[in-house]
Structure 1
Amino acid sequence: MSESFNQEQNPSEEKFTSSFPPKPIVEEKSQNALRRSLISLAIYALMFYFLFDRNIVYIAAILLVLIIHEMGHFLFMKLFNYSNVKIFIIPLLGAFTSGKKQQVSQWQLSLIILAGPLPGIIIGCLLFWLNKDLKNETIEMLYSSFLVINLLNCLPFFPLDGGRLIETLFFKENYIIRLVFGIISIIVLLFLFAYLNPILLIVPVIIGLELYNENKHQKIREYLKHEKINYHVDYVNLPDKDYWLIRDCLIFSFPKKYNLLTPGKYEYAIVEPIVIQQINAVLQVNLNPDLNLFKRVLMVLFYIGIFVGPILLFLLNR
């Protein structure tokens, strides 16, 4: 454990064991989330239009690809009873879908990941086959958008869907391997995005910041495990006492970020919403490893087939 949790600063020490007030209640605001998504979608389109001098048809095609991709994730999360499922549009960078479920199946999570790029790749292949005789430039642009964006997203690097699939199948519960995988992903994406579009270099920078924060969070989990505090629980079922103790750990780990907060002083602060987000990042879901080695190998072969299928289609129809 880091020096942040030495004996002199132990948040579970008697000097910090005053009465614990109730943890803050998180209100779900689905309407606000929908409004933010629509506004972000509009900003995405405007930035593409003005920064890249693209026509309306091209921008509409990109947005269509993104929406179909994220709706795949969204629908499968709903199918597997995830709660608070939301789609976020990030101008210029893309989009992502989030949801909550404490008991997560390895099989279901793999399907949720594949449900994003697979429909777009199938649509792209169908449009390519349809256009082989028509030779329509608009259809060509559309199938190229579907195939390029979704196949790029299938590359085996985090946080792309391909990387998330490999992580889910083989080492989601192993922090060290995930850390190494993240570092390799940053290096590869730096070169890839520098070649494709320098604006995308912000993605590996964001991944680096996430890895830094995750390293801090992992140290907090190690401390919590030592203190027999359960962090494999969702926020709703997190005991009030554990909320405030994890909050103290965050204050010790991020002293500059929470310099206005005092460990052991259990009262709500203006930055409490940020604290809640950080605590949710520390908490972990329970992953049910319901795929044996044979099934995981089959899943990997299917994953490889996602790339092989479009390549064969192009070669056979040249």
Structure 2
Amino acid sequence: MSGPDASLVAAIRAKETQPNDWPRQTLMLLVSLAIFVAVGLIWWDMRLVLILVSILLVHEAGHCIAMIAFGYRNIRLVFLPMLGAAVSGHQVQLATWKKAIVYFAGPLPGIVISMGLLLVATAGNSDTNASVT
């Protein structure tokens, strides 16, 4: 291969082997988070904004951890005001089952946390009912 196509392929290959730029990606995350909170405070109170940020962060962290585990490059987590949040990254020839794990890893932390909270609430509720005979 020669010409413009070869230089494009070479540039893509160089990007694939480039290490993650964590300082820049962390700055992007913090700036997008600040904008998300600022826009959110126009319509909602701080408590609701913090709840939304927490839920989105837990969800996207699940995707992010799976992406790191499977060797994704250039992973970015950004908050999108009035839309939510997103994680993106570059993967090379990843098996379909690994892609599925990355997709399902987002909801998984929220499911685990909610099940734990449900068990705690149920355990506390059954103790109260047992003592009221």
**TM superposition score normalised by structure 2:** 0.72
Count of residue pairs brought into register by the alignment: 115
Equivalent in the alignment of 1:122? 112
Deviation track 1:243-297 (CA, whole Å, cap 9, x = no partner) reads: xxxxxxxxxxxxxxxxxxxxxxxxxxxxxxxxxxxxxxxxxxxxxxxxxxxxxxx
The structure where helix makes up a greater share of residues is: 2
SS of the counterpart of 2:86? strand
Deviation track 1:200-250 (CA, whole Å, cap 9, x = no partner) reads: xxxxxxxxxxxxxxxxxxxxxxxxxxxxxxxxxxxxxxxxxxxxxxxxxxx
Q: What is the distance in 2 between the residues matched to 1:46 and 1:130?
A: 34
Asked if 1:89 corresponds to 2:75, the answer is no
Deviation at 1:64, TM superposition (A): 1.1
Instruction: Compare CA radii of gyration and give the structure with the larger one.
Output: 1
Q: What is the distance in 2 between the residues matched to 1:22 and 1:108?
A: 30
Deviation at 1:106, TM superposition (A): 1.0
Q: What is the distance in 2 between the residues matched to 1:119 and 1:88?
A: 18
Asked if 1:36 corresponds to 2:28, the answer is yes
Asked if 1:63 corresponds to 2:53, the answer is yes
Deviation at 1:108, TM superposition (A): 0.6
Q: What is the distance in 1 between the residues matched to 2:83 and 2:118?
A: 26
SS of the counterpart of 2:94? strand
5+ residue gaps, structure 2: 126-133
Contact 2:73–2:91 at 8 Å: present in 1 too? Answer: yes
Equivalent in the alignment of 1:156? none
Q: Which amino acid aligns with 1:39?
A: V
**TM superposition score normalised by structure 1:** 0.33
Q: Which aligned pairs between 1:71-110 and structure 2 lie closer than 5 A? A: 71-110=61-100
Q: What is the distance in 2 between the residues matched to 1:116 and 1:108?
A: 13
Q: What is the distance in 1 between the residues matched to 2:38 and 2:80?
A: 12
Higher relative contact order (CA 8 A, sep 6+): 2
SS of the counterpart of 2:82? coil
5+ residue gaps, structure 1: 1-16, 135-318
| Alignment RMSD (CA, Å) | 2.6
Contact 2:71–2:91 at 8 Å: present in 1 too? Answer: yes
Deviation at 1:110, TM superposition (A): 0.8
Deviation at 1:78, TM superposition (A): 0.8
Deviation at 1:66, TM superposition (A): 0.9
Q: Which amino acid aligns with 2:99?
A: L
Q: Percent identity?
A: 27
Check 1:103–1:65 CA distance in 2 against 1; reply closer, same or farther (3 A cut): same
SS of the counterpart of 1:92? coil
SS of the counterpart of 1:104? coil
Deviation at 1:74, TM superposition (A): 0.7
Q: Which amino acid aligns with 1:61?
A: I
SS of the counterpart of 1:123? helix
Q: What is the distance in 2 between the residues matched to 1:64 and 1:120?
A: 10
Contact 2:39–2:82 at 8 Å: present in 1 too? Answer: yes
Deviation at 1:29, TM superposition (A): 4.6
